[in-house]
Chain A
Amino acid sequence: MTNVVEVQGLSRQFGTTKALDAVDFRATEGLVHGLVGVNGAGKTTLIKHLLGLLRPTSGTVRVLGLDPVRDPVNVLRRVGYLSEQREMPEWMRIDELLRYTQAYYPSWDMRYARELLDTFGLDAKKKVGGLSQGMRAQTGLVLAVAHRPQVLILDEPSSGLDAVVRQDILDAIVRTVADEGRTVIFSSHLLDEVERMSDRVTMIHQGKIALDGMRDDVCGAHHVTQLRFAERLDRLPPLDGVLTASGGARSWSVVHAGPVERLRDAAGSVGGEISESRNATLEEIFVARVGRGAPRAEAA
């Protein structure tokens, strides 16, 4: 499969702060890519590099084979973007805004834009300034997809929205990838949404990639396992692959990376055995990897 986005060794410094530190990231044609990380982890900074809005301190960024800083016109024509701020000219009516945006995109599909407005129940004569949060997001979404972009990039699209509008956004993601060859990259702090809606997951922590892989592989490589010990333990001895542990005395619950067999052997050597094990959810992996008390982020 083709990589439509290719980021290699990307670092970005703001003053003395390293916002991105040697980041490798790729997006594959036809897949939905979820970016997760706490606020300030570097998700938005990475996205801004994909759009050519920021120049790398070092490293390379390619979108559809092009450098977005050197060739912004040809990149932006083929990319759709919805930012968290959803900034739009307040004084324009929606239909004016559509015509205005159309001018920038040779592939603009006005019928599709009107169709989406209808689906969302948006009145094209309304001024942007008078729209609710949800309506702004819906309008922003129409602007992001009406030129049928090859790559759709959504930065925290669900933030501050009610369940109904969130559904509209998820539907737009499905429709975009269901059209052959189109690719979606979206960042979100809603981990259940990312788990449902991503084929590939990238976790960013303190400017570095903490975890990256196909969702099913990432979730399949982490388990939540219950351990029982013959003796009471005040604290769990360090076990190979264990990220976090809770519980006490004879029964402990751990989130661990790697095969269950490995944990079984490790636990066995200190008098423990596994009573139950299942795949971890993305949220459990996230908390175990980057939450408080998690071990330092490592490239995986």
Chain B
Amino acid sequence: MDIKINLADGVPLYRQIVNQVRYMVASGVLEAGEELPPIRTLALQLKVTPNTIVKAYGELEAAGVVRKRHGSGTFVSDAGPSRLATRERRRIIEERIDALLAEARHLGISLDELFKSIQRRHALLAENTPADKASGEE
């Protein structure tokens, strides 16, 4: 599992792991039923304490993203993979929206201006995207 720990973020290490696993589930990199690495293995890989992984897996389990099976390991929840992914996708994009709204407030940009700005950027990006890809969006 490709997880990157960044100390400079000021985000607790267990939360960095939680966020990246959630992202991998949302984007389909991790599929329903797939097994996550054992605690010791991931701790050795990331150079963090095993308790940090325990905390991360615990949080993922509480959120319904993974499920622990007795005596075996930790697996991506298979309670409807598409539903889980949809929920995660929405959660991730809403986090970004919150940050955008906070920034806009600081810069004194109204919600109306922000909407227009998003549409303008979208149009600009669509123009620069090859036609075959853009048509797939319709």
* A interface, CB within 8 angstroms of B: 30-32, 167, 170-171, 173-175, 177-178, 192, 195-199, 216, 219-220, 223-224, 275, 278-281
With a 10 A CB-CB cut-off, give which of A32, A178, A195, A216 has the most chain B CB atoms: A178
Q: What is the bound-complex CA distance between A280 and B11, given in angstroms? A: 9
Could you say which residues of chain B place their CB within 8 Å of the CB of A170?
47
Q: What is the bound-complex CA distance between A279 and B10, given in angstroms? A: 4
List CB contacts (< 8 Å) of B1-38 with chain A.
Answer: 5, 7-14
* B interface, CB within 8 angstroms of A: 5, 7-14, 39-40, 43-44, 47-52, 55, 106
Could you say which residues of chain B place their CB within 8 Å of the CB of A278?
9-11
Chain A interface helix/strand/loop/mixed: helix
Could you say which residues of chain A place their CB within 8 Å of the CB of B7?
192, 195-196, 281
Q: What is the bound-complex CA distance between A177 and B9, given in angstroms? A: 26
Does A198 contact B49, Cβ atoms closer than 8 Å?
Answer: yes
Q: What is the bound-complex CA distance between A173 and B55, given in angstroms? A: 18
With A198-B49, A199-B51 as contacts: A281 and B44 at CB distance below 8 Å: no
Chain B interface helix/strand/loop/mixed: helix
Does B39 contact A216, Cβ atoms closer than 8 Å?
Answer: no
Does B40 contact A174, Cβ atoms closer than 8 Å?
Answer: yes
**Within the complex, what minimum Cβ distance (angstroms) separates A262 from chain B?**
18
Does A32 contact B106, Cβ atoms closer than 8 Å?
Answer: no
Does B12 contact A197, Cβ atoms closer than 8 Å?
Answer: no
Q: What is the bound-complex CA distance between A89 and B14, given in angstroms? A: 42
Would you list the 3 A-B pairs with minimal beta carbon distance, nearest first?
A: A278-B10, A279-B10, A178-B40
With A174-B43, A196-B7 as contacts: A216 and B14 at CB distance below 8 Å: yes
Q: What is the bound-complex CA distance between A297 and B39, given in angstroms? A: 37
